[in-house]
Amino acid sequence: MDRIEKSGEKYKQLFGDGVPAAYATDPDFQDILSRFIFGEVFHQGSLDDKQRELITLVVLTTNQTLPQLKAHVHAALNVGLTPIEIKEAVYQCAPYIGFPKTLNAIAETNEVLKARNIALPLESQKRVEEDNRFEQGLAVQVEIFGDIIAKNRENAPANQRHIQDDLSAFCFGDFYTRGGLELKTRELLTLCIVSALGGAENQVKAHVSGNLNVGHDKETMIAAITHCLPDMGFPRTLNALHCINEIIPEK
């Protein structure tokens, strides 16, 4: 199939038989969009459709492009993702984009789930308690990043050590330990989230290393960042690829 045929087939798989509203007013633009996203990007790399939709969800959440997020929650369900997997992907964004933006995305997600007759709240995926969230989070942090975590904690100025504690207990204890998504998936999604933020190249590099440590190879990371391209644009995509190449140089 050529990219026009691929685009039509993929769009139908994701969204059904409807026609994008933009065809009524901006057909040229919609053709460019559809053929690039659904006829090319969706077919580059070895990611499956579930991985691609999870990546799309977190980038749209990060960008706060909420109408498109709502459409892709439907698409995520259509390709077989569970409501828990979808919710956990959105929750995973909170440490990087903050609570208000994450709550916006949760509200849009809940509207779709209710429309699909999915009862809320979903089953809890909490795996830590108040008395062990720090220790459990720190353990996951060390599993992903290794010895650098101890060095970061030792080198933090006294008046900033609470930030290191918060990072371990909140980011990794409250979120990375949750059920619903495996650790490898969470770390790949985090790479996409920080890449979409812009100006977070230090964090992108850290999570490139983290992805290596949890078992993702360079090609998987390139495929993930490529899939982010239509939703975050070339500048941030190229910046992320530069970070990947810096940590994992081409042979």
Query: What confidence score (pLDDT) does residue 1 get?
Result: 86
| Burial (CB count <10 Å: 0-12, 13-18, 19+), residue 28 | exposed
- Determine if the peptide bond prior to 27 is cis (ω within 30°): no
- The per-residue pLDDT for 205 is 98
Closest CA to 13 of 84, 58, 77: 77
**Left (φ > 0), alpha (ψ -120 to 50) or beta: where does 45 sit?**
left
Q: What is the pLDDT of residue 87?
A: 98
Domains of the chain: which residue ranges? 128-177
pLDDT value at residue 140 = 98
85 contacts 181 by C-beta, under 8 angstroms: yes
DSSP states of 70-133 as a string? HHHHHHHHHTT--HHHHHHHHHTTHHHH-HHHHHHHHHHHHHHHHHTT--SSPPP-----TTTH
- Per-residue pLDDT tens listing for the chain (251 residues): 899 999 999 999 999 998 999 999 999 999 999 999 999 999 999 999 999 999 999 999 999 999 999 999 999 999 999 999 999 999 999 999 999 999 999 999 999 999 999 999 999 999 999 999 999 999 999 999 999 999 999 999 999 999 999 999 999 999 999 999 999 999 999 999 999 998 999 999 999 999 999 999 999 999 999 999 999 999 999 999 999 999 999 98
The rounded distance, in Å, linking the Cα atoms of 245 and 129 is 39
